[in-house]
Amino acid sequence: MRPEVLYPLFKPVDTLKGVGPRLKPALERLVGGHVVDLLWHLPAAAVDRRHQCKIAEAEHGALCTLTVRISQHIKPSSPTRPYRILCEDETGTLVLTFFRAHSDYLLKTLPEGELRVVSGTVEHYSGEIQMTHPDHVVKVEDIDSVLKLEPIYPLTQGLSQKVLAKAIHGALAQTSELAEWHDPALMAKHGWSGWHESLLKAHNPQETTDIDMLAPARQRLAYDELLANQLALALVRLGMRKTKGHPTKGDGALRQKVLDALPFTLTGSQLKALGDVISDMESDHRMLRLLQGDVGSGKTVVALLAMLAAIETGAQAVMMAPTEILARQHLKTIEPLAEAAGVKVALLTGRDKGKTREALLENLKSGTIQIAVGTHALFQDDVAFQNLRLAVIDEQHRFGVHQRLELAAKGQAVDVLVMTATPIPRTLMLTAYGDMDVSRLVEKPAGRLPVKTSVMPSGKLGSVAEGISRKLDEGARVYWVCPLVEESEKLDLAAAEDRFKDLKKMFGDRVGLVHGRMKGKDKDAVMAAFKAGTIDILVATTVIEVGVDVPEATVMVIEHAERFGLAQLHQLRGRIGRGHGASSCLLVYQTPLGEVAQKRLKIMRETEDGFVIAEEDLKLRGAGEVLGTRQSGLPQFRMADLEAHKALLTTASDDAKVILNGDADLKTPRGQALRTLLYLFERDAAIKYLRSG
Ligand code: ADP
Ligand code: MG
C-alpha cells in the first residue's frame, strides 16, 4: 500500500487550488495528471530580476525592475493604438504600453499618483523609454516577490509561466520532509540536503548556478529518480533469482547435428555468447541474459542452439518476436535446421484461429511441438506447455518487463534469453534492464563486405534510376524506402504508393510494394516474391526495418533520410550487406538540411558500428528518445539526464545492489524509507516482489 504521506501527491491535479477543468488538460499534457507530476517539472532556466535601476539607467533591451510613481493614464485614441501609462522617478519618464488593454484593470493595478514596482524588458523607442506589457506589477511592499531569480518552466500551449508556476507552487505546498532514504555518507560526499529542501530549492533557484543539472539540489532529485529505477529493477531481478533454476544439462547431440548442418562456422563472438548462455542454463540459477548484437550478427543461430540444449533434456523452448513478419523470418531460419536435428517446430501467431489453433495448443501441451516460434499470441492464457524451459525474446524493448515475466511464468523457473538488435548504449542498458547479464556479438559473420553509404540531395533523384538500372542488370535486388510523413501511416502510404507508380513506369513488373497497412498474407506474398527474385525492387515504408533477411538485396535507397533517427537508419541499412555481394546505401535528403540531420547523415557515412552509432545518437538526441517513440519499454526520466548524470546512474546501480544485499525485504528504517521512494516514483509493481507488504 502506498504510504499515507504520499496520498496528497497522488490526487488529480485539479484538486489543487486554482487548477480547474480548463487548466487540467494542459497540465496533463505537459506533466501528467497527478500533483506529484508537477513536482518533477523543474525549471529549464531562470530570469534574473534582481537588477534594480533608475529610469535613466535602463538600457535598451535590458530586463529591469524599477520602482516608479504612476503619473498619468493616456487612453488610446483608437482601439488599434496602445494604452499608455506615464511613470516617473527622479531620473526620468518611463512609458508603459498595453495593447488591447482593459482600462478598468489598469486603473486598479496602476492607480495614478501611487508607487509601483514594475519589471520587464525596457526599450528605447522614438525618443522614449518604454516597457510593453510589464511581466510583473506589484506594490512596493511586495518587491521581494519580484526581485529574485524567476524560474522559467518548459511550457505547452494553453499554459503561461505564471499559471504553471502557481500550479507548481500549489503542488509544492502539499509536500513536507520525508524520512531520508539515502545513505548519509553519500549525501555528505555530494553536499546534498533532504528531499523536501532539495525540491524547494530546485524550484526556487537562488543563484543562476542552481539551474545547472549538476547543482546539488538537482543532483539529489535526479539521484532519487535513478535509485528508484535501479532499485525496482534489482527487486524484480532478485525476485526471479529467488526461484531456483533448473540445471539444464543437455548431452549436446542435437546441437552437434545442427552445427554439422550449418553452411558456415560460428564466429568467435557467437561461440563466446553461446558458452555464456549454456553455462547459465547448466547452473541452478535462473538465466536472465541479454544477447545484444547488431543486425545480421547472427543472433538467431545462437538462440537456436540454446533452445536445442533445452530440448536435449526433453524440455521445450519458445522464441517470441514483436511482429509477425519477424516471427515468420525466425521460423524460416530455424525450421530447416531444427528438422536436420529431428526437432519439431511450430508457429503461433494471432492469425491462427479455430481448429488450427486448437491443434497447435494441444501439441504444445503434450510436448509434441518442441520449439514454438510466435508473437505475443504466445502470452495468451490458454497457451500451456508440457515442460517449458527456455524463453527467447527477440527485440525485447518493444515488450514491457511485465510481458517478459508473464511468458517466463508459463513454465517453472524458465530461463530467459532476451535478444536485441538495437545497440543500446551502456547507460541506457542499465536503466532498461538493470544489472542484467549481457553477451554481445561484435563480429560480423565472415565474408561480409562493408556497406558503402553515400548521401545525395533529393534534387538529383532523377539520376538514381539510371544507377539502379545498372545494378539490376548486375543481378542486385533493391530496397526503396519511402519517407516517414509526420508519423501518419496514411500519408506514409500515399508517398510509398506514388513512388511505386513512378518506379513501375520505369521498371515494370519487377517492382513490388509493401507497407504496414497490408494484410499479413499479402505482405508475406510480396516479401516472398522479393526473396525469390521474381521482383527485384521493393518499395517499402519502414515495415522492413525489422527482421527481413534477403542476402541478395545489396542496394538500399532511403528517401527523406533526414527524417529518420540514427538508430532507425542503422536498422534499415542493416537489411543490406547480409550476403557476399558488395552493398550500397543511398541516403537521399531534402534541402535545407538542419544541423542535427547533417550530423546524423555524416555518422551514417562514416561508420557501420552499431554501438558507435548508438552512442552518437545518445549525444545528438538525449536519452529519452534514443530508441524512438515506438519502442516504449524504456523508462523516461523526468529529472535525471543520462548525459549529465551518467556517473550517478552507475552509483545508483551499485547502491541498489548494496541495499538489497543488506536488506532484501526493505524492512530496516532505511528500507521503509526506500519503499516510500519507490511509491513516489510509481514503481509500485516492483514492491510486489517483496515478500512482506
Ligand atoms: P541477426 O538475428 O543477428 O540479425 P541472423 O541470425 O538473422 O542475424 O543472421 C543473419 C544471417 O547471417 C543469416 O542468414 C544467418 O544464417 C547468417 N549467419 C549467421 N551466423 C553466421 C556465421 N557465423 N557465418 C556466416 N553466416 C552466418
Ligand atoms: Mg535475426
Half-sphere exposure of 689 (CA within 13 A, CB side): 21
**Residue 55 is inside which H or E element, if any?**
none
Which ligand places an atom closest to the C-alpha of 547?
Answer: 2
Q: Please give the span between the terminal C-alpha atoms of the chain, in angstroms, as a whole number.
A: 7
CB of 296 sitting under 6 A from ligand 1? yes
Query: Do both 578 and 456 map to the same domain?
Result: yes
Protein residue whose Cα sits closest to atom 15 of ligand 1: 298
Domain membership of residue 19 (yes or no) is no
Which atom of ligand 1 is least distant from the CA of 394? 2
Distance 302 CA to ligand 1 centre (A): 9
Q: Any idea what the CATH number is for the domain that residue 126 is in? A: 2.40.50.140
Structural domain containing residue 338: 253-441
**Distance between alpha carbon 471 and the CA centroid of its chain, in Å?**
38
Ligand nearest to the CA of 302: 1
Pocket residue to mutate for ligand 1, from 300, 307, 325, 395, most atoms within 8 A of Cβ: 300
**pLDDT, position 477:** 94
The two beta strands, 45-48 and 149-152, are antiparallel
**Cell 508519423 -> residue:** 487
Among all ligands shown, which has an atom nearest to the Cα of 578?
A: 1
Q: Is the CB of 47 under 6 A from ligand 1?
A: no
Expressed in angstroms and rounded, the spacing between residue 259 Cα and the centre of ligand 2 is 18
Same domain, 116 and 188: no
Whether residues 501 and 607 fall in one domain: yes
Atom of ligand 1 nearest to the CA of 270: 23
Instruction: Give pLDDT, residue 623.
Output: 45
Distant-in-sequence contacts of 187-190, Cβ < 8 A, 24+ apart: 187/220, 190/216, 190/219, 190/220
Residue 171 counted as domain residue: no
In tens, the pLDDT along 89-128 reads 999 999 999 998 888 999 999 999 999 999 999 999 989 9
| Cβ–Cβ < 8 Å for 453, 585 | yes
3-state class (DSSP) for residue 158: coil
pTM of this structure: 0.67
The residue ranges of the chain whose pLDDT is under 50 are 486, 623-633, 692-693
Q: Is the CB of 267 under 6 A from ligand 1?
A: yes
Alpha helices in 341-425 (DSSP H): 354-366, 401-408
For residue 569, is it within any domain? yes
Q: Which ligand is nearest to the CA of 299?
A: 1
Q: What is the CATH number of the domain that holds 361?
A: 3.40.50.300
330 alpha carbon – ligand 2 mean position (Å):
7
**Pocket lining: 357 vs ligand 1, CB cutoff 6 Å:** no
297 lines ligand 1 (CB under 6 A): yes
pLDDT computed for residue 401 by the predictor: 52
Domain closes at, from 105, 130, 147: 147
Q: Please, which contacts does 547-552 make with residues 24 or more away whose CB atoms are closer than 8 Å?
A: 547/321, 547/323, 547/325, 547/326, 547/329, 547/330, 548/325, 548/329, 548/575, 549/296, 549/329, 549/333, 549/578, 550/477, 550/575, 550/578, 551/578, 551/579, 551/580, 552/475, 552/476, 552/477, 552/579, 552/581
352 Cβ partners below 8 Å, 6+ apart?
Answer: 360, 377
Query: How many domains does the structure of the chain reveal?
Result: 4
Whether residue 196 is found in the same domain as residue 93? no
The H or E element that residue 318 is part of is strand 316-320
Distance from Cα 326 to the centre of ligand 1, integer Å = 14
For residue 217, the CA-to-ligand 1 centroid distance in Å is: 49
The domain boundary, picked from 581, 615, 631, lies at 631
Instruction: Please give the distance, rounded to the nearest whole angstrom, from the Cα atom of residue 298 to the centre of ligand 2.
Output: 7
Residue 470 has a CB neighbour count (10 Å cut-off) of 10
**Collapsing DSSP states into helix, strand and coil, what is residue 174?**
coil
Question: How many Å lie between the centroid of ligand 2 and the Cα of residue 354?
Answer: 30
Do 520 and 555 fall within a single domain?
A: yes
Q: Are residues 110 and 71 in the same domain?
A: yes
- Alpha carbon nearest to ligand 1 atom 6, residue: 298
In a domain, 233, yes or no: yes
Domain match, 475 and 549 both: yes
Residue showing cell 550500397: 584
Separation between Cα atoms, residue 377 and residue 327, nearest integer Å: 11
| Ligand 1 contacts CB of residue 446 (under 6 A) | yes
**CA 316 – ligand 1 centroid, Å:** 23
Q: Looking at the domain assignment, is residue 161 inside a domain?
A: no
Q: What is the CA radius of gyration of the chain?
A: 31
Give the ligand at the shortest distance from the Cα of 292. 1
Backbone angles phi, psi at 151, to 5 degrees: -65, 140
CA angle 46, 49, 52 (to 5 degrees): 160
What pLDDT shows up at residue 176?
Answer: 95
Residue 381 lies in a domain: yes
Are 57 and 103 in contact, with CB atoms under 8 Å apart?
no
**Distance from Cα 396 to the centre of ligand 1, integer Å:** 19
Q: For residues 183 and 67, state if they share a domain.
A: no
The whole-angstrom distance between residue 304's C-alpha and the CA centroid of its chain comes to: 29
Provide the phi-psi class of 688: left if phi over 0, else alpha when psi is between -120 and 50, else beta.
Answer: alpha
Pair 192, 269 in one domain: no
Ligand 1 centre from 611 Cα, in Å? 18
The Å distance, Cα 331 to ligand 1 centre, comes to 14
Q: Which atom of ligand 1 is nearest to the CA of 301?
A: 6
Q: Residue 528 falls within a domain, yes or no?
A: yes
Q: Is residue 152 part of a domain?
A: no
For a pocket test of ligand 1, which of 258, 262, 264 has the largest count of ligand atoms closer than 8 A to its C-beta? Answer: 264
Kindly list the distances between the CA atom of residue 498 and the CA atoms of 99, 482, 494, 517, in Å, as whole numbers in the listed order: 49, 10, 6, 15
| 136/504 Cα distance (integer angstroms) | 64
Q: Do 261 and 393 belong to one domain?
A: yes
Ligand nearest to the CA of 300: 1
The answer on 455 and 436 residing in a single domain is no
The vertex-272 CA angle with 268 and 276, nearest 5°, equals 170
Same domain, 201 and 90: no
Locate 171 and state its grid cell.
503542488
Of 631, 651, 680, the last residue of a domain is: 631
Q: Whose CA is nearest to atom 10 of ligand 1?
A: 296
